[in-house]
Structure 1
Amino acid sequence: MSRPGERNDGRKGRNPAGKPPFRPKAQAGSEEWIWGWHAVEAALANPRRGPPVRLLATPDRARQLEARFGRVRAIEVADANAIARALPQAAVHQGIALRPGPLPDVELADFAAEPGAVLLMLDQVTDPQNVGTILRSAAAFGAAGVILQERHAPRLTGALAKAAAGAVDAMPLARVVNLSRALEELARAGWRSVGLAGQAERPLSQVLGGEPVVLVLGSEGEGVRRLVAEHCDALARIPMPGGFESLNVSAAAAVALYEAVRNRA
């Protein structure tokens, strides 16, 4: 484990090689970094990713990494302030940050239409925190994968990965150009699609069966768009007897996933 900037010659200010302590250059808002222990640990453990590009860790975190993975070549030991300077402002990095290898997307054909399988499709859900939380719920409830639109969905940034708490690397993720055509392709493969809509007549519990299902959720403002809704086999609502008109999309996803899992059980 290399430790740039550590001093073991009894003097302050320089290491034995005569180099100043490690100070990463500021990279404000870099979308390549992910941070937080769960997100970084999951990325390093994911065999689908390439080798890490850079890995910054405090001494304590570096020891944790060695205990978890053995020797990690890319690791650079730094103090917490130095790590913070490499990340977007206010990033809660927990003493570790990673510029990982790329994470390849999966194809729709990779999702097996098995009885009880559940996919989530997000129609123009653009907030990274919401998408990260939805990925975390999808992993927790055993979803088969998540489908995003290529142009109207966030990139897998550090904030999204932090909110997902490792689910970015645990949950298969497909990106498609056109959601309507994707639903047509999934239907041919044996998937049934259910769009969540507050104005739907039937509650979700009455619409779900044991077949493989795609749950389609839209943004909080517009909801599932008309053309996408027309390609769904059914529309359903989440009953809300408390009188509120809608839920946050990440909360709605968690409720819908729970209902699908309960139905499957």
Structure 2
Amino acid sequence: MPGNSPRRNRRTSNKKGATVGSGGKRRRGLEGKGPTPPAELRPGHAKQRAAAAKARRSQARPGRAKPTAELVVGRNPVLEALREGVPANALYVQQFIDSDERVKEAVALAAGHRGIRLAEAPRPELDRMTGGLNHQGLVLQIPPYDYAHPDDLLDVAAGAGEDALIVALDGVTDPRNLGAVVRSVAAFGGHGVVVPERRSAGMTAGAWKTSAGAAARIPVARATNLTRALQNYQKAGLQVVGLAADAEAAIGGLGVLDGPVVLVVGSEGKGLSRLVSEVCDIRARIPMPGTAESLNAGVAAGVVLYEAARLRTLP
């Protein structure tokens, strides 16, 4: 009967009243949603997943990030770095610091260098900068090293009118060894050092100090792929000589050290990697009549560089 229907909001008369509607949703649903975004930005799209994976891979690759400044902390390390002429762009001194002779000398050395900015900072700020290390009120900021390209070392040799003498390091991870090699290259007339981009020591403050100032004169190049860089040197006419303890030939009997050459030195523990060893034109060993089984990279490079310099200066 009219008026007794159980259906909700059913009209039982011709008199108009309130009814349940869409609330404008249907009208808004007909409105446009703007231009379709590109495939790379659509969630779930194949191109969007591929772009996200590529971004993750690029972030995970070591050595791909933008180089950052290095911090030397502590009164003795900062003072030693300044004495050795390690390049720096800022010295941070803690406010109200209990000054001693080391602090006074560090500030004087920094003030006498035009490229070093002196800044006073509260202790909490220095704690934040150093990650809570015991900085003792002194923090020295070292800018990222400006690495050369491997081809630049050929230009250095050509500019000097000499046959190229280059040292490449394979898997050497101790910055002090790198600094020692740079120092030996400078002492024996070499033209530069090449290190791989990954799994290798870089030109840190420790390498600078060990080089005893030679890093300011000898370029260090960084190769994205060391094997490919050595192959490019071969195409340029250089002989690639790898040092290996198990090699049959002795370094003293080689006749190639007086010409354009790249000396490849591996780590003390593992030696040359397989791919680098395979690309070498010659593998040679350093004769050692004593009881030592091996030499670290810095000493080994110095021995061979001396032999190369001796052969090059013979009348």
- TM-score of the aligned structures, taking structure 1 as reference length: 0.70
Name the aligned partner's letter for residue 193 of structure 1. Answer: V
CA separation of 1:143 and 1:166: change in aligned 2, threshold 3 A: same
Name the aligned partner's letter for residue 296 of structure 2. Answer: N
Q: Does 1:74 align with 2:112?
A: no
CA separation of 1:209 and 1:219: change in aligned 2, threshold 3 A: closer
Contact 1:205 1:263 in 2 (8 A): no
Partner in structure 2 of residue 118 of structure 1: 165
160-169 or 124-133: which moved more?
160-169
- Counterpart secondary structure, 1:264: helix
Give distance in 1, aligned partners of 2:182 and 2:138.
21
Over alpha carbons, which structure has the higher Rg? 2
Contact 2:69 2:142 in 1 (8 A): no
Name the aligned partner's letter for residue 219 of structure 1. Answer: S
Partner in structure 2 of residue 176 of structure 1: 223
Residue 294 of structure 2, aligned match among 246, 249, 253: 246
Residue 37 of structure 1, aligned match among 72, 78, 82: 82
Partner in structure 2 of residue 231 of structure 1: 279
Q: How far 1:223 moved relative to its partner? A: 0.7
Give distance in 1, aligned partners of 2:309 and 2:244.
19
Give distance in 1, aligned partners of 2:296 and 2:275.
22
- TM-score of the aligned structures, taking structure 2 as reference length: 0.60
- Counterpart secondary structure, 1:240: coil
Residue ranges of structure 2 left out of the alignment (5+ in a row): 1-67, 73-77, 94-102
Name the aligned partner's letter for residue 118 of structure 2. Answer: I
Give distance in 2, aligned partners of 1:72 and 1:105.
19
Partner in structure 2 of residue 127 of structure 1: 174
Q: Percent identity?
A: 39
- Counterpart secondary structure, 2:272: coil
> Which structure would you say has the larger RCO, counting Cα contacts within 8 Å and 6 or more residues apart?
1
CA separation of 1:150 and 1:234: change in aligned 2, threshold 3 A: same
Contact 1:43 1:166 in 2 (8 A): no
Give distance in 2, aligned partners of 1:213 and 1:223.
19
Partner in structure 1 of residue 201 of structure 2: 154
Contact 2:70 2:144 in 1 (8 A): no
Give distance in 2, aligned partners of 1:96 and 1:255.
39
Name the aligned partner's letter for residue 260 of structure 1. Answer: A
CA separation of 1:234 and 1:72: change in aligned 2, threshold 3 A: closer
C-alpha RMSD over aligned residues: 3.2
1:11-160 to 2 correspondences below 5 Å:
32-34=70-72, 35=78, 36-39=81-84, 41-43=85-87, 52=89, 54-56=90-92, 58-65=103-110, 69=113, 71=114, 74-76=117-119, 98-112=140-154, 114=158, 115-160=162-207
Give distance in 1, aligned partners of 2:129 and 2:298.
29
Higher helix share: 2
Give distance in 1, aligned partners of 2:296 and 2:116.
42
Partner in structure 2 of residue 205 of structure 1: 252
163-172 or 250-259: which moved more?
163-172
CA separation of 1:167 and 1:209: change in aligned 2, threshold 3 A: closer
Contact 1:116 1:264 in 2 (8 A): no
Q: How far 1:110 moved relative to its partner? A: 0.9
Residue ranges of structure 1 left out of the alignment (5+ in a row): 1-29, 45-51
Partner in structure 1 of residue 264 of structure 2: 216
**Number of residue pairs aligned between Structure 1 and Structure 2:** 220
Q: How far 1:244 moved relative to its partner? A: 2.5
Q: How far 1:87 moved relative to its partner? A: 6.9
Q: How far 1:90 moved relative to its partner? A: 8.8
Partner in structure 2 of residue 47 of structure 1: none
Q: How far 1:169 moved relative to its partner? A: 3.2
Give distance in 2, aligned partners of 1:233 and 1:111.
20
Partner in structure 1 of residue 312 of structure 2: 264
- Counterpart secondary structure, 1:99: strand
Partner in structure 2 of residue 9 of structure 1: none
- Counterpart secondary structure, 2:241: strand
